[in-house]
Amino acid sequence: MDNHDDPRNGTVQPDSKKPKLTHPISSHELLHEFSHHQTAVARINNGSFGSCPRSILTAQTTWQLRFLQQPDDFFFNTLRNGILDSRKIIKNLINADDVEEISLIDNATTAAAIVLQQIGHHFSSGKFCRNDTVIIFHCAYQAVKKSIEAYVIPVGGSVIEVELPFPVNSNEEIIAEFKKGIERGKINGGRVRLAIIDHITSMPSVVIPVRELIRVCRENEVDQVFVDGAHALGSMEVDVKEIGADFYVSNLYKWFFSPPSVAFMYCNKNKKLNDVHHPVVAHEYGNGLPAESAWVGMRDYSPQLVVPSIMEFVNRFEGGIEGIMKRNHNMVVKMGVMLKEAWGTNLGSPPEMCASMIMIGLPSKIRVMSDDDALRLRFYLRVYHAIEVPVYYQALGNGERDARDKDGFITGYVRISHQVYNIVDDYNRLKTAIIQLLQDGKICSELPKE
Amino acid sequence: MASEKNNHHRSIPDINGTHPTPKKPKLSSSSNFITASEIQSEFSHHDSAVSRINNGSFGSCPSSILSAQQQWQLKYLRQPDHFYFNHLKPAINNSRSIIQNLVNAKDINEISIVDNATTAAAIVLQHTAWCFREGKFNKGDVVVMLHYAYGAVKKSMEAYVTRAGGKVIEVPLPFPVSSNDEIVTEFRKALEKGKVDGKKIRLAVIDHVTSMPCVVIPVKELIQICREEGVEQVFVDAAHSIGCTDVDMQDIGADFYTTNLHKWFFCPPSIAFLYTKKNPKTGGGGDLHHPVVSHEYGNGLAVESAWIGTRDYSAQLVVPEALEFVNRLEGGIEGIKKRNHEAVIEMGEMLVKAWGTHLGSPKHMCASMVMVGLPTCFGVRSDSDALTLRTHLRDVFGVEVPIYYRPPRDGEVDPVTGYARIFYQVYNKVEDYYKFRDAVNQLVDNGFACTLLSK
């Protein structure tokens, strides 16, 4: 676990991205790496909980054992440096200037709490006024919305929700809606103090044109921009300098093969955001977010220590992480197109607005008419077909945008993921299961509930 | 460092289709009690070259519970969606239910599982901060805490209470201490200070067992005084207590109470619970929230804490196995506490006799730990000296023991300024303490002083 690349500062192409010259991972080895996944399950939902190969679980176990053997020694002599090594690798991966901009935390949910707690303080202290707002997409992750409810609303802030057009055809549609939202924020002389922009929305899943939206934010004097890139690392390129956000978070356990759970949070040092704290306060309070996050009390920090091992793993693939991302994207689009053609439906967004996940319309005859219907269908697919795939209900909107197939309006979508362990058969099984439902004349509300 | 133990059981098995079921707690008959050699085996992953007499810092976890934890981890990894939808909540509730019984809480909703006492402190103190911000508490109202409160809790006070306009009063404590009365006297003085100028004392944060120096505080008595003196709420930071002191919520009578289960209750890192007394008038628990807000926000602290985003919750799921392990020892948790206490006092007395020093507190103010005075010739003159000595003991002698620097008071002649905090847990042996005794004796013989090691 010590032989990670030691990237030099200042290079545009960090060494850690270049794959080592060893034999690429064989299909047999790949199978073994994920042999702990439940066989017979078509696991096409990597986006929710991610996945972790055996060799990294083994590396994690090694770290855990080192701690258990002599925890004091580990705490004093090993932990900090191990976390620093991981942070350095992340810094290079995302093209950040300084490792002090990188903190390791549990997950994107924690990052939201960190950002929103300090926003809340600004409202309490009077730095922000009652008219001021936070802008988010209406489909922002539920935990983020709750965090706003907890930290911003009680102290006088309010929220503007931007409708995400879906199904969506182009970046311009999203940018236009966002601009409208910003304008709403400026009514009554208020200011938009924080924009929370998903890099890849969760449900429905679409890649958002973050660079353009951040440009709009800067033009409109939005104080802080927080990009929630929960899905991003390992599914699309993340260049934080190019993106230009003040805060950026991405989980490592979704698409970057880490065990549950670890995420990185980037805080742009040029913004001099000095009031950013981890909400679980411990000895390092006031020493900067990276130090605070590296010790939030006694816990198992092993997921934060395996990043070097992750680099070793991804570099066993042709093209390293870039090769993986490219192949995942191509495959998920190919499978998406295969499904939409088999079902006579649509894709939720064009391929260039997808990374390693894509939304595919379900035949209208299945009649996904509510969130409850969507859950029933998901349960049905899991229990009766051993297929794990999230189902999304899209309420009808304004006629023109509403997608149709030959039988009616499309109101249900599946979100398929492709990760290195997936096989074509996973998606054929989904294709067949849905077609079977159609042939049986079943609709969602008739499916058994959990 | 010692070579890694052969832990083949920790490698990931190939499992296809079988669902590993966690073991149900069994009733032990006397013939089923764990043997001494089984205990050593359970802790064989500990570095055998080290005299590990610091159970209090990071705790310890037997192999059988680590295995049980791994089963849960694998179950999740196999099919995480299924685990999330169908297994996680019932398993956490099972753990909560066991804890509820263990600590004599009236209602399972009073028990929330969190990572550690540090998190529990953030939860309680964030609530206090909200009360100040919303004007429920007036600026300048007081929160009382002990001077020897844990460092993280002090920082949490700064981050949440002071920042929101509260005034923090610290209760100075004598150390070495010889009776509960000394603590009670100082506590009463602090409460008087707090009520000056008509201010109200909104919260008292009281350690059940202070960390450094390590002393058992008479919490019941102090809480009684709080009620008499109109302190609104009491939060007991009992990081050490379950498995080490008595933990009866009705008996102690606090409004909030937290303890770690990974220190003395054999759970893996990390798990703690926060008890929040149900308000008989409002039925509510005081509207506390987990600071990491997720989907379950507003559904009660216990439910919020059971999902704070995707993470490994496996340490929270092995409480049944921990209880089973405890019951394999004679007398269960009571037997363990008693034996640990007697053993650590015996070891402490052995050491102070060998070194010509004294214990930091009387027996009845110790649980599974005791502060042992170090020879004055070491010249411990600062926290930095203490850390240097600790490192030296670890690196040169293979003894892991925290050292405390106790600043001398005016007029003291040749005071003891260095104390070692020794613990005793089921895996410890007399040899561990002999090794420490001999190390110190050797250092004395060699004319060791902390200044010699300072850079």
Per-residue pLDDT of chain B (455 residues; tens, 9 = 90+): 444 444 433 444 443 444 444 444 455 455 679 999 999 999 999 999 999 999 999 999 999 999 999 999 999 999 999 999 999 999 999 999 999 999 999 999 999 999 999 999 999 999 999 999 999 999 999 999 999 999 999 999 999 999 999 999 999 999 999 999 999 999 999 999 999 988 999 999 999 999 999 999 999 999 999 999 999 999 999 998 899 998 999 999 999 999 999 999 999 999 999 999 997 665 555 689 999 999 999 999 999 999 999 999 999 999 999 999 999 999 999 999 999 999 999 999 999 999 999 999 999 999 999 999 999 999 999 999 999 999 999 999 999 999 999 999 999 988 999 999 999 999 999 999 999 999 999 999 999 999 888 65
Chain B residue numbers touching A43 (CB-CB < 8 A) = 79
Q: Which residue is closest to B77 within chain A, CA to CA? A: A37
Q: Are residues A203 and A267 in the same domain?
A: yes
A287 interfacial to chain B (CB closer than 8 Å): no
From A363's Cα to the closest Cα of chain B, the distance in A is 24
Alpha carbon separation from A159 to A156, A185, A192, B128, B262 (Å, rounded): 10, 9, 9, 26, 41
Does the distance separating the beta carbons of B310 and A50 come in below 8 Å? yes
pLDDT at B264: 96
Cβ <8 Å between B14 and A36: yes
Cα(B290)–Cα(B126) distance, integer angstroms: 9
Contacts of B125 in chain A (CB under 8 A): 281
| Whether B118 and A155 lie within 8 Å, measured CB to CB | no
Number of separate domains in chain A: 2
Using pLDDT thresholds of 50, 70 and 90, give the confidence band for residue A396. confident
pLDDT, tens only, A125-173: 999 998 899 999 999 999 999 999 999 999 999 999 999 999 999 999 9
Beta carbons of A106 and B311 less than 8 Å apart: yes
Which domain CATH number covers A406?
3.90.1150.10
3-state secondary structure of B367: coil
Element (H, E) at B326: helix B319-326
Does A397 map to a domain?
Answer: yes
Q: Are strands A387-388 and A42-43 parallel, antiparallel or unpaired?
A: parallel
Contact pairs from chain A to chain B, CB under 8 Å? 207
Sort out which chain A residues have CB atoms less than 8 A from B10's CB and list them.
61, 65
To the nearest whole angstrom, how far is the Cα of A246 from the nearest Cα of chain B? 20
Residues 120-179 of chain A with CB under 8 A from chain B are 124, 142-143, 146-147, 149-151, 154-155
Is the sign of the CA dihedral B338, B344, B349, B350 positive or negative? positive
Fold of B74-325: Aspartate Aminotransferase; domain 2 (3.40.640)
CB contact under 8 A, A285 and B156: yes
Q: Give CA separation, A266 vs A386, B21, B209, in Å.
A: 38, 40, 38
Q: How far is B88 from chain A (nearest CA, A)?
A: 14
From A264, A268, A222, A272, select the one nearest A242 (Cα to Cα): A268
The mean pLDDT value for A251-273 works out to 94
Q: Give the pLDDT of residue B299.
A: 95
Distance from CA of B66 to the nearest CA of A (A): 10
ipTM: 0.92
Q: Does A43 touch chain B (CB under 8 A)?
A: yes
Work out the average pLDDT over A400-414. Answer: 91
Please tell me which residue of chain B has the smallest CA distance to A143: B294
A303 shares contact with chain B (CB less than 8 Å): yes
Residues written for chain A = 450
Domain for residue A20, yes or no?
A: no
Residues A124 and A204 in one domain: yes
Choosing from A263, A289, A312, the residue where a domain stops is A312
| Distance to chain B for A282, nearest Cα, Å | 4
Answer whether residue A378 is part of any domain. Answer: yes
Alpha carbon of B398: minimum distance to chain A alpha carbons (Å): 10
Q: In chain A, what is the greatest distance between 2 CA atoms, to the nearest angstrom?
A: 67
Q: Give me the residues paired with residue A436 across strands.
A: none
- pLDDT tens-digit series, residues A101-121: 999 999 999 999 999 999 999
Instruction: Say yes or no for a CB contact (<8 Å) between A300 and B47.
Output: no
Query: Does residue A415 sit within a domain?
Result: yes
Axis crossing angle, helix B430-445 with helix B383-397, rounded to the nearest 10: 110
Q: What is the CATH number of domain B332-452?
A: 3.90.1150.10
CA dist B297 and B305 (Å) reads 9
Q: Are residues A260 and A331 in the same domain?
A: no
Contacts for B376 with CB less than 8 Å, ≥ 6 apart: B357, B414, B415, B416, B417, B418
Same domain, A293 and A438: no
Q: Look at residue B24 and give its three-state secondary structure.
A: coil
Q: Which is it for the CA torsion A64, A67, A70, A74, positive or negative?
A: positive
Residue of B nearest to A38 (CA): B78
Q: Which of residues 77-116 of A touch B (CB under 8 A)?
A: 106-110, 112-113, 116
Check whether the bond before A261 is cis (ω within 30° of 0): yes
Q: Test A151 with B293 for CB contact under 8 angstroms.
A: yes
The rounded distance, in Å, linking the Cα atoms of A214 and B406 is 55
Of A36, A69, A297, the CB nearest to B152: A297
The Cα of B291 is separated from the nearest Cα of chain A by a number of Å equal to: 6
The answer to whether B61 and B268 are in contact (CB under 8 A) is yes
Whether residue A143 and residue B293 make contact (CB cut-off 8 A), yes or no, is: yes
Instruction: Point out the domain boundary residue: A271, A295, A312.
Output: A312
Identify all chain A residues contacting B82, using CB atoms and an 8 Å cutoff.
38, 382, 388
Q: What is the DSSP string of A44-73?
A: --HHHH----HHHHHHHHHHHHHHHH-HHH
Strands B369-373 and A412-417: unpaired
pLDDT of residue B454: 66
Q: Which residues of A touch B71 (CB under 8 A)?
A: none
Helices marked H in B367-414 — which ranges? 383-397
CB–CB of B52 and A57 under 8 A? Answer: no
Query: Which residues, listed in sequence order, are joined to residue A47 by a DSSP beta bridge?
Result: none
The reply to whether residue B79 touches residue A37, judged by beta carbons under 8 angstroms, is: yes
Residue of A nearest to B6 (CA): A65
Cβ distance A72 to B160 less than 8 Å, yes or no, reads: no
How distant, in Å, are the alpha carbons of A38, A396, A420, B16, B329 from that of A34? 9, 39, 9, 12, 39
Query: Looking at residue A37, what DSSP letter applies?
Result: S
Backbone angles phi, psi at A383, to 5 degrees: -80, -40
Cβ of A36 and B308 within 8 Å? Answer: no
The residue type of B379 is: G
- Nearest Cα residue to B233 out of B251, B211, B257, B210: B257
Most confidently modeled of A2-11, A13-22, B24-33, B87-96?
B87-96
In a domain, residue A8? The reply is no
CA distance, residue A72 to nearest chain B CA (Å): 7
In the predicted structure, residue A226 carries a pLDDT above the cut 90: yes
| Domain ranges within chain B, ordered by starting residue | 74-325, 332-452
Considering only alpha carbons, which residue of chain B is nearest residue A296?
B118
Mean pLDDT of A76-84: 97
Clarify whether residues A302 and A395 are in a common domain.
no
pLDDT per residue as tens digits for the range A345-384 = 999 999 999 999 999 999 999 999 999 999 999 999 999 9
Instruction: Report the residue from A76, A124, A279 with minimal CB separation from B133.
Output: A124
Q: To the nearest whole number, what is the mean pLDDT of chain A?
A: 93
For residues A307 and A338, membership in a common domain is answered with: no
Residues A381 and A243 in one domain: no
Q: Do B15 and A253 touch (CB under 8 A)?
A: no
d(CA A258, CA A57): 8
- Written as six digits, the tokens of B29 are 């008959």
> Which own/partner pairs from B250-254 qualify as long-range (CB within 8 Å, at least 24 positions apart)?
B250/B104, B250/B106, B251/B104, B251/B220, B252/B219, B252/B220, B252/B223, B253/B220, B253/B223, B253/B224, B253/B227, B254/B206, B254/B219, B254/B223
Beta strands in A199-332 (DSSP E): 224-228, 247-251, 263-267
Residues of B in contact with A60 (CB under 8 A): none
Predicted model pTM = 0.93
Residues of B in contact with A75 (CB under 8 A): 57-58
Contact A132, A152 (CB under 8 A): no
Judgement on whether residues A160 and A267 belong to the same structural domain of the protein: yes
Mean pLDDT over A69-90 rounds to 97
Final residue belonging to a domain, choices A281, A312, A343: A312
Burial B102-117 (b: 16+ CB within 10 A, else e): bbebeeebbbbbbbbb
State how far residue B232 is from chain A, nearest Cα, in angstroms: 24
**Chain B residues with CB inside 8 Å of A282's CB?**
118, 151-152, 155-156
Domain span holding position A131: 73-312
Residue B115: φ, ψ to 5°: -65, -45
Same domain, A245 and A330: no
CATH code of residue A265: 3.40.640.10
Bridge pairing between strands A263-267 and A247-251: antiparallel
A112 and B310 in contact by Cβ < 8 A? no
Q: Check CB contact under 8 Å for A299 and B269.
A: yes
In a domain, A50, yes or no: no
User: Token pair 């149709």 is at which residue?
Assistant: A404
Whether A366 is in a domain gets the answer yes
On whether residue A36 sits in a domain, the answer given is no
Please tell me chain B's helix, strand, coil percentages from 3-state DSSP, rounded to the nearest 5.
Answer: 45, 15, 45
Closest listed residue to residue B406, CA positions, set B275, B215, B193, B160 = B215
A382 CB neighbours in chain B (<8 A) are 81-82
Residue of chain A whose Cα is closest to the Cα of B316: A299
- Whether the link from the prior residue into A350 is cis, omega within 30° of 0, is no
Separation CA B128–CA B203 (nearest Å)? 8
Nearest CB to A298 within list B17, B46, B269: B269
Per-residue model confidence (pLDDT) at position A271: 85
Kindly tell me the burial class for residue B192, based on how many C-beta atoms sit within 10 Å of its own C-beta (0-12, 13-18, 19 or more): exposed
Clarify whether residues A274 and A219 are in a common domain: yes
Cα A106 to Cα A300: distance, rounded to the nearest angstrom: 11
Calculate mean pLDDT across residues A239-263: 97
Q: Do A281 and B122 touch (CB under 8 A)?
A: yes
